Amino acid sequence: MEQVVIIGSGCAGWTAAIYTARANLNPLLITGQQPGGLLTTTSSVENFPGFRNGIEGTELMTEMQEQASRFGTRIQYLSRVESVDFSSSPFKLTVDGKVIEAKSVIVAVGAGHRHLGVRGEHELENKGVTYCATCDGALPVFRNQPLVVVGGGDSACEEASYLTRFASQVYLVHRRDSLRASKIMAERTLANPKIIPVWNSVVEEVLDITQDRVTGVRIKNIVSGETGTIDCAGVFVAVGHTPNTQIFQGQLTMSEAGYITLGEGSRTNIPGVFAAGDCADSVYRQAITAAGMGCAAAIDAERWLAGLE
């Protein structure tokens, strides 16, 4: 039986692995199908302390993984937890069809991209609709073409700035008249001559399903009610995230939006199950806070296991 199983391989998961490994708990980490989590879809991370010139998201995650491995973390790559049973101890996790028993579990499953939910979005996914500029921005179909980014947060600004390397023009469509992003990011974005903000506007439809390829978006100004179209070769959706907590529904207490509710420290409603990172944090959602939460969950798990003896 496992002492501690960590579900997830973002900042929270790797940090929990480093700490539990160094506490001699011999942790098993299940990476999920996107090892490294959301940070692997960003470009340079400029606000993680210790890297004065920034660090690429993938590099930061690789470093954390190597550090966790060095202390003996066992890693189950590309595996996915299909279901969990927290109703009695030991906890049971079904991973790729096999059941793993564990005394304690750290849930660090992160969050996934939120969708717009408009006509054409799903139909044209990977045919011009994407959720990751660093993954797809350099594709030939987007080069020297007008592109649309939807959203007004740090992600949207980051995506828009990154895409100016390839696009002829980037339209930043936001439903308000100012950006939600951090000040430095917002100022940098609005100062970029290739980025054209389209304020107070929402995308009503991604065009064109009949051509089986994105040719534009139909937008509506929510103040004036006017509608119009923007011709573009790609739509980059950056409207936030939803926690990946579906498999814990009915077992872990969570908010309406699906964020796991924490009690004292990283404790969930089930003794022995701890949560960390974006799946349990709707407020800060930063790489560094996720890492901090992973550390807290590891220490909580260690103390909880010690209390069993």
**Which residue numbers are catalytic?**
132, 135-136
Nearer of residues 221 and 286 to ligand NAP, judged by Cβ: 286
Q: Which residue is nearest to ligand NAP (CB)?
A: 153
Nearer of residues 3 and 155 to ligand NAP, judged by Cβ: 155
**Is-contact 36 133, C-beta < 8 A?**
no
CB of 183 to ligand NAP, least distance (A): 11
State how far the Cα of 175 lies from the Cα of 223, in Å rounded to an integer: 9
Query: Nearest CA to 90 among 270, 247, 265?
Result: 270
Alpha helices by DSSP H, listed for 137-276, are 154-163, 183-190
Contacts with 66 (C-beta within 8 Å, 6 or more apart), sequence order: none
Q: Number of residues in contact with ligand NAP, rule: CB under 6 A?
A: 20
- Choose, by CB under 6 A, the member of 146, 197, 240, 271 that binds ligand NAP: 240
CB of 107 to ligand NAP, least distance (A): 19
- Choose, by CB under 6 A, the member of 29, 230, 239, 254 that binds ligand NAP: 239
Give the 3-state secondary structure of residue 243: strand
CB of 134 to ligand NAP, least distance (A): 11
Letters for 107-126 (x = contact with ligand NAP by CB under 6 A, - = none) are ---------x----------
- Choose, by CB under 6 A, the member of 202, 209, 288, 305 that binds ligand NAP: 202
Give the 3-state secondary structure of residue 192: coil
**Is-contact 95 8, C-beta < 8 A?**
no
State how far the Cα of 68 lies from the Cα of 243, in Å rounded to an integer: 24
- Choose, by CB under 6 A, the member of 70, 122, 176, 303 that binds ligand NAP: 176
Nearer of residues 153 and 272 to ligand NAP, judged by Cβ: 153
CB of 28 to ligand NAP, least distance (A): 28
Query: Nearest CA to 17 among 30, 1, 32, 6?
Result: 6
State how far the Cα of 156 lies from the Cα of 135, in Å rounded to an integer: 14
CB of 299 to ligand NAP, least distance (A): 24
Asked whether position 152 contacts ligand NAP by CB under 6 A, the answer is: yes
Query: Nearest CA to 113 among 39, 38, 180, 170?
Result: 38
For ligand NAP, the binding residues (CB under 6 A) are: 47, 116, 150-156, 158, 175-176, 180, 202, 238-241, 285-286
